[in-house]
Chain A
Amino acid sequence: MDPDPNVTPDPLATSMSRRRLLRLAVGSSAMIPLAALLAACGGSSSPTTPTTSTGSTGASTSTTSGSTGGATTTSAATPAGAGSAATPAATTASSGTAKPGGTLTMAYAQSVADTLNQHISNFTVSRMVARHVLDCLVSVDTTSGQVKPWLASKWDISADGLQYTFTLRTEPKFHDGTAFNAAAVKANFDYTVAPNTKRAWAYGALGGDKYDHTEAVDDQTVRVVFKKPDVGFLSLLSDGGLGIDSPTAMQKLGDQYGQKGLVGTGAFKFVEMVLNDHVTLQRNPDYNWGPSTAKHQGAAYLDQLIFRDITENATRAAALQNGNVQMARLVNSQVAQFKGVNTIRIIQIPKAGTTRMYLMNSAKSPSDDINVRKAMNMAVDKKTLIGLPAWAGIGNPGIAPLPSNMVPNHDLSSLKQYDIAYDPTQAGQLLDQAGWKMGSDGIRTKNGAQLAFDFVCQTADIPQVEPLGGMLSKVGAKLNIKSGDFNFWINNTLKRTFDMTLMSDSGYNPSGLVEEFFYSKGPYADYLTANPEIDTAVEAAVNAPTTDEMWKNLFTAMGLIMQQVPGVMAWEDMYIDGASTKVQDVGYNEDGFAFFYDTWLG
């Protein structure tokens, strides 16, 4: 039958049969090798480490000191603090004159995992976001490590280290009009330690079991009393986790506080939070009591600050590259992606926390032999590791359980004597002496067992674990990588069902970090068989009345720990932020997270 000449054929009427689809697919796939060939002709290069900035030194600070008759006092500035002596990037370099206006969007993988109520959140980023709405009693100068005034203009510490008396400023006001005074500070700390308040980071930072109570001596004077000395307390007061909330708002919103609202005295006011999506803050125009560590005083420059959640690393980097966000937290492997991109700069921030460690389970064979643990150290070339794409050259070879940015004057030289140098030849000799003979398949055996380690890690960490397998294979050891999600990893580490794992923790409490992993009663303890000398030194550090005493004991503990060779102190890690070149004066706190009070858009 002939087609009807009065009907125009519909060009879209042809159905796509499976057969036709397959033919198209075959044709397309034939183009792939051609495209690859053309791209290869265009040339590609291996990634190299781009030029990065580590920012300028921090703002000038003012120190105050106070004294009370009778009791000995300590000036407000605590040398070296209880935490890091200094991090290089207090504020990034700026060009031009600061001007108000604009919206800055910062992308984290997850800004707020549970709540902005920092009393009950265990998530670091949540506390860092909250810190823009809440002010803290003090602020750590990340250049010098000194603790500087903020909501507290001065403070005294009793000689026995059990009482901290703060004099509060009179200018600050809560966003909801509630008076900022000693009663408000007391209400915050009472809430943190209240029996029905969930125990979270803030509880430990306030001293945990060492904390006794807080007194409102008068409107402008608040005293925090401890049962045992806690030298970490003063520095940790600078963390958003111990920021000061409006007691009125906390009472009014109840369980919804931190989700439906957040009220502090900060440079930014809470606008809204959509969990797993974004947090929006807007400038507080009345703000005039910034930290003494800041570059300026008065209101913040930015009109609006948005924290966006972009979980997928590649998507987050793409959002930065496309200009959808002005700043983003990146991972090492993405640094090369921005090489040659003139509109983006890379900021490296030393991470507050422990060194990244390939920890070995010394309660289990084969790593129950200290000579095996030493040999594994000798097999690892830390400099080569850091040069690989998974590190992109960012970070420093590790030496001790704490990285150099966490110790006074960045000086770990006294512990270098315990550092085990890369020497694969000696590693082989040590293993031979320990009875591990090389097999024909390149793997050593002893009494019929292979020199094999079950390495438990998170899937995201695989790029930084596989190279270890390559290095160990050169000395005749085998790495069996078992990867999974966070729960898989943490369950295996807590149950000690691993031979090796990649471990670290972030935070600004040095004695607490060492205690966490190497004290026999710590949550992750028993990587070493219980060692009374280490326990004694750690206890002395944790309970030291002064920071000098704490560091002295901590270095003793670290030396003892390193002599036990708990694993490979692999590298000192860094956070990496990508920022549009329009973003000026990004501040970083002691935890390595951005603080946007001084930030402006060029």
Chain B
Amino acid sequence: MADTVSAHATTLGAETARQSQSAIVARQLRRNRMAMIGAALLVIEVVLAVAAPVVAPYDPLSQDFTVPLQAPSAAHLFGTDDVGRDLLSRVIFGARISLSVGFIAVAIGAGVGVVLGIISGYYAGAIDTMLMRLTDLLLAFPGLLLALAIVAVLGPGLFNVMIAVGVGGVPVFTRLSRASTLTTRERDYILAARSIGCTDRRIMFGYVLPNVIPPIIVVATLGIAGAILTAASLSFIGVGAQPPTPEWGAILTLARQYLQQAWWFTVFPGAAIMVTVLAINMFGDGLRDALDPKLRT
């Protein structure tokens, strides 16, 4: 009975500690004005992206040859493109694509990288050496070039861009999770788990993984911005989203030919990329500060 009460108290204590931790992080975030602005912008973008079919005034693919390259007006708030498509609608639908690409690419990179990093850090030795040399190889390439090379092999298209950008992120997440694993695996509770017969798999993903998550979240958040930029760059040079997909980078590829005569064609999709990346960076910075115990106030 006393043991049960004691165990329950321990569980309650841990739960309370975790909740306090979460409350502290949330409070820190709320106090960070820049992070809140970033979060608000992101929420607005996500809502717009989800509600695009309702919010967008026109079908983003519908061409109207009577109004090509029309300046912003009451009928077309962001103007029209070279085949008369409404730019506002295309930018809104583009948010769906860009945010999806960003999240999925990071999910691929983090999913693979975290697993590899934990395995590498936990087992060390030859496995660690081999995996680290592989990540060194990938890290030797500039991210955009690596993504370009992968797309060149896989072929153009959004799905292949997600894979290419995701693969480019694997080494970063691998190294980060390996570092966390190296410090965590020597902890007492890990030794205790080993001593009571827990399998390596259970230890890695039941005990080590929760400690790896916080820094991964921060890097992943910031990585989404990079992924969106890389995907837009690949579309800009013609190997990403295929026409008539309203991906922001792909819109810019068409728009640059009309830079001098139709400023709206480049400004609005460009601003959308900029605001999105900025918002993610602001929120990610705030999250990092909130999770860093040294910066707690």
Contact = CB atoms under 8 A, between A and B. Distances in A.
Contacts of B252: none
A334 B34 CA distance: 42
A38 B271 CA distance: 16
Interface string B219-250: 00000000000000000011100111000000
A463 to B, nearest CB: 6
Interface in A446-474: 459, 462-463, 465-467, 469-470, 473
Given A44-B71, A485-B238, A388 B65 contact: yes
B260 interface: yes
Contacts of A47: 69, 258, 261-262
A23 B286 CA distance: 13
Q: Taking each of A44, A387, A481, which has the highest tally of chain B beta carbons within 10 Å of its own beta carbon?
A: A44
Contacts of A18: 285
B68 A388 contact: yes
Interface string A365-398: 0000000000000000000100111100000000
A368 B261 CA distance: 42
B275 interface: yes
B278 interface: yes
Given A46-B68, A388-B68, A483-B238, A466 B244 contact: yes
13 contacts: A32-B267, A43-B71, A44-B263, A47-B69, A314-B259, A388-B65, A459-B253, A462-B253, A470-B63, A470-B83, A473-B63, A480-B242, A482-B156
Given A26-B37, A384-B65, A388-B82, A481 B243 contact: yes
B32 to A, nearest CB: 10
Contacts of A506: none
Contact of A26 (B34, B263, B268): B34
The A contact surface, by secondary structure, is helix
A510 B254 CA distance: 34
Given A18-B285, A22-B281, A45 B260 contact: no
A38 to B, nearest CB: 11
Interface string A354-371: 000000000000000000
Given A314-B259, A467-B83, A470-B63, A483 B68 contact: no
A390 B63 CA distance: 14
Nearest to A333: B257
Instruction: List 7 tightest A-B contacts by C-beta distance, closest first.
Output: A459-B238, A470-B63, A44-B71, A333-B257, A389-B82, A337-B260, A46-B69
Contact of B261 (A19, A40, A337): A337
B261 A25 contact: no
A325 to B, nearest CB: 17
A331 interface: yes
A46 B71 contact: yes
A29 interface: yes
Interface string B152-167: 0000100000000000
A36 interface: yes
Contact of A22 (B34, B68, B268): B34
Contacts of A483: 156, 238, 242-243
Given A40-B72, A331-B257, A19 B285 contact: yes
Contacts of A462: 238, 243, 253-254
A36 B264 contact: yes
Nearest to A312: B256
Contacts, number: 112
The B contact surface, by secondary structure, is loop
Nearest to A455: B243
A43 B243 CA distance: 29
Contacts of B174: none
Size class of the A contact interface (CB-based, 8 Å): 35 or more
Contacts of B282: 22, 26
A23 B244 CA distance: 35
Given A36-B72, A333-B257, A389-B82, A23 B243 contact: no
Contacts of B267: 32, 36
A314 B262 CA distance: 14
Nearest to A331: B257
Nearest to B238: A459
Given A19-B285, A40-B71, A470-B83, A26 B278 contact: yes
A533 to B, nearest CB: 38
Nearest to B157: A482
Contacts of A44: 71, 261-264
Nearest to A470: B63
A336 interface: yes
B257 A336 contact: no
B271 A32 contact: yes
A334 B156 contact: no
B43 interface: no
Given A22-B34, A470-B63, A45 B278 contact: no
A29 B275 contact: yes
Contacts of B67: 46
Given A19-B285, A44-B71, A470 B65 contact: yes
Contacts of A384: 65
Nearest to B71: A44
Given A22-B285, A29-B278, A467-B63, A484 B239 contact: yes
Contacts of B274: 29, 32
B98 interface: no
B70 interface: yes
A313 interface: yes
Contacts of A488: 156
Contacts of A22: 34, 278, 281-282, 285
B77 to A, nearest CB: 10
A16 interface: no
A7 interface: no
